[in-house]
């Protein structure tokens, strides 16, 4: 395995290790439950063990890795039950964000939502589930962003990080994008109508449907 080139100038070792590791986990390059040996990672990223260690501690409190005393670190696997519980929290928090976004979003931001909605419609029509999944992610991110609720946003990003694997699994299920599409469009419409209650309700009902799909 080739040794990593020098970090993007100025980036500190710990930061680099953190970014790389998080990316690797989120992109699924690390198998679930894979052992994460500090020494190996250190060599792979071209940093020292202490930096890797610091990154692992941070990722542990983000819920992405699991650390056991004197036993090492592993990529955390979330069970279906956990995924459901996490999505229930998302229901509560994204509902809040959608309601806020319906009130505070600017007109340009609303147009942005419309664009994404159209792209999603096209992705479903063309039968591109992975593209749809990406747009799905983007839509939720935009709603979070437009809400201006920094606290809720950081909580939600933490939660979403734990769901990567389940998200892919869900997107590839046949028929799922079609059902999900109409729910997403309803969310967009409610926000564009600047109706906070309808927006919250639309988000909650969408995520309730996600929960059902997870369980199914």
Q: Does 163 bind DNA (CB under 7 A)?
A: no
First-to-final CA distance of the chain: 41
Residues 6+ apart with CB under 8 A from 134: none
- Least separation in angstroms between CB 63 and a second copy: 8
Strands (E), 9-112: 35-36, 65-68, 72-75
Q: Does 187 bind a second copy (CB under 8 A)?
A: no
Q: Does 194 bind DNA (CB under 7 A)?
A: no
Angle between helices 129-147 and 107-125 in degrees, nearest 10: 160
Site for DNA in 16-75 (CB under 7 A): 36-39, 47-51, 53-54, 67, 69-73
Binding mask 69-88 for a second copy (x = CB under 8 A): x------------x--xx-x
Q: Which range binds a second copy by CB under 8 A, 25-33, 46-54, 107-115, 183-191?
A: 46-54
Both structure tokens of 77: 């696997």
Q: Does 9 bind DNA (CB under 7 A)?
A: no
Q: Looking at 42, 95, 110, 139, which residue binds a second copy (CB under 8 A)?
A: 95
């Amino acid at each position: 395995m080739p040794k990593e080139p020098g970090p993007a100038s100025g980036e500190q070792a710990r930061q680099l290790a953190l970014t790389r590791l998080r990316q690797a986990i989120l992109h699924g390059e690390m198998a679930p439950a894979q052992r994460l040996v500090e020494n190996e990672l250190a060599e792979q990223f071209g940093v020292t063990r202490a930096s890797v260690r610091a990154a692992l501690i941070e990722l542990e409190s983000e819920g992405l890795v699991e650390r056991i005393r004197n036993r090492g670190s592993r990529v955390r696997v979330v069970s279906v039950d956990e995924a459901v519980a996490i999505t229930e929290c998302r229901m509560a928090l994204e509902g809040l964000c959608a309601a806020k976004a319906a009130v505070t979003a600017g007109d340009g931001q609303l147009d942005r939502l419309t664009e994404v909605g159209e792209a999603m419609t096209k992705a479903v029509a063309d039968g591109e589930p992975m593209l749809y999944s990406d747009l799905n992610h983007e839509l939720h991110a935009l709603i979070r962003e437009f809400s201006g609720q920094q606290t809720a946003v950081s909580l939600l990003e933490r939660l979403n990080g734990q769901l990567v694997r389940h998200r892919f699994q869900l997107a590839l299920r046949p028929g799922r994008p079609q059902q999900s599409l109409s729910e997403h469009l309803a969310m967009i419409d409610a926000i564009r109508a600047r109706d906070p209650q309808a927006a919250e309700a639309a988000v909650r009902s969408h995520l309730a449907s996600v929960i059902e799909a997870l369980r199914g």
